[in-house]
Structure 1
Amino acid sequence: MLGQELARGREARFEALMRVVVEPLHRYLLRRADADAVEDILAETMLVLWRRLEDVPGLGVGPETDPDDVLPWCYGVARGCLANTRRAERRRLRLVERLARTAPPAESGEAEHAELHAVLGTLGSMDREVVLLWAWEGLTPRAIADATGLTPNAVSIRLHRTKKKLAALLDERTAPTLDMAQVKEGPTGEQRRTTRPAEGH
């Protein structure tokens, strides 16, 4: 009886978590992965969250869960699942190349936003992740620190440096309409969904 009650309580907590993180995590992955792979990566992320439910910081026992409390940690889980998928894809591509040298590498699926992604692609992987978490997910430096494992001070420094670099690169591009506002819109042209201003310098 007690075991059944504990199981039901765990399921209720997981459902409460899913209600607030599924859509943000789906958007997060869509901006970073091929659309065909997003559902699989999201499912893997959900599985990890279920297995590590007790580790999710800020997840209370009640029916309501504050996204600001749980999302940074969940972004970190999704980031890890995405990295695993990319490593597996790289291994697959290396195997394909060995078997058939004529096969071209897979396209990123973001050709229509090549100008924006060309600029973002000049950044180091962590700098890019920090600025995307700020611009597209609307996270504060402290929340970005939780998602990436950096310190809040390191995030603020990276964010300040990276925004200056991006602004300079965007000024140099031939497309005059491409600017930091477009970076914040993301690849779908959709403004980030946040009710609070992003912090950082």
Structure 2
Amino acid sequence: MPAPLAGPDRFAAVAAAVADPVRRYLWRRTDEATADDVLAATLSVLWRRPDDIPDDPVPWAIGVARLQLQNARRTQRRQVLLAQRIAVVDPPQVQVDAEQGPSESDETVRLVLARLRESDAELLRLWAWEELDSRAIAEVLGITANAASIRLHRARRRFAELFEQTRAGGSR
């Protein structure tokens, strides 16, 4: 039986296992440049904390990435506030063209997710986009598997209700 991986070999194996799932998680939540920065920060945490990495590193790494993304968003908000202050003093000379919008179905899902509580939307993203089960979602969010299962069930029910309202053209 081969010896367990240690040091750089273990990090390389864990990084290879988590990089794509974490990248997909991040790409669905932010722009590509921020996703790459947050992925690098996440891998840095894995490098610094090898003893904390569980046997199934993907949910744990997504949890780390989630926290790193929150940090990045706080940084971005501070940068936006600074840019707004600067724009008052020295307004920009050129306007940036708007990007091509998402498809109609993407827009409907985004609209419904935006109308949900952030905690419900995050549960649904972890379940649908990241394809995590209740146990893995529990690990990402730091809750019990039972709590994750119950919250996911309720979030799916609320999503379905809002989705039907949105398709019917109604709004709350």
**TM-score bucket (shorter structure):** 0.7 to 0.9
1:80-116 residue CA offsets vs partner (Å, 9 max, x unmatched): 111100010011111222222567xx9xx79403322
**For residues 15 and 36 of structure 1, what CA distance do their matches in structure 2 show?**
23
* Aligned counterpart, 1:32: 29
Q: Give the 3-state SS of the residue equivalent to 2:115 in structure 1.
A: coil
Tell me which of 71, 76, 90 is aligned to 2:63: 76
What TM-score do you get using the length of structure 2 for normalisation?
Answer: 0.81
**For residues 137 and 110 of structure 1, what CA distance do their matches in structure 2 show?**
25
Q: Give the 3-state SS of the residue equivalent to 2:6 in structure 1.
A: helix
What TM-score do you get using the length of structure 1 for normalisation?
Answer: 0.70
Cα RMSD, aligned residues only: 2.3
Tell me which of 38, 47, 65 is aligned to 1:41: 38
**For residues 20 and 168 of structure 2, what CA distance do their matches in structure 1 show?**
32
* Aligned counterpart, 1:171: 164
Cα 1:110–1:30, aligned 2, differ >3 Å: closer, same or farther? farther
Q: Which has the higher helix share?
A: 2
1:61-140 mapped onto 2 (5 Å cutoff): 69-101=56-88, 111-112=101-102, 113-140=106-133
One-letter amino acid of the counterpart of residue 170, structure 1 = F
Tell me which of 114, 136, 142 is aligned to 1:143: 136
CA apart distance, 1:131: 1.1
**For residues 86 and 168 of structure 2, what CA distance do their matches in structure 1 show?**
40
Q: Give the 3-state SS of the residue equivalent to 1:33 in structure 2.
A: coil
Cα 1:110–1:140, aligned 2, differ >3 Å: closer, same or farther? farther
One-letter amino acid of the counterpart of residue 83, structure 1 = Q
- Specify every segment of 5 or more residues in structure 2 that has no aligned partner in the other structure, as ranges: none
Greater mean deviation of Cα atoms: 24-33 or 94-103: 94-103
1:35-70 residue CA offsets vs partner (Å, 9 max, x unmatched): 232111111111111111111011xxxxxxxxxx11
* Aligned counterpart, 1:14: 11
* Aligned counterpart, 1:54: 51
CA apart distance, 1:160: 1.0
Equivalences, count: 155
1:152-197 residue CA offsets vs partner (Å, 9 max, x unmatched): 2221221111111111111122489xxxxxxxxxxxxxxxxxxxxx
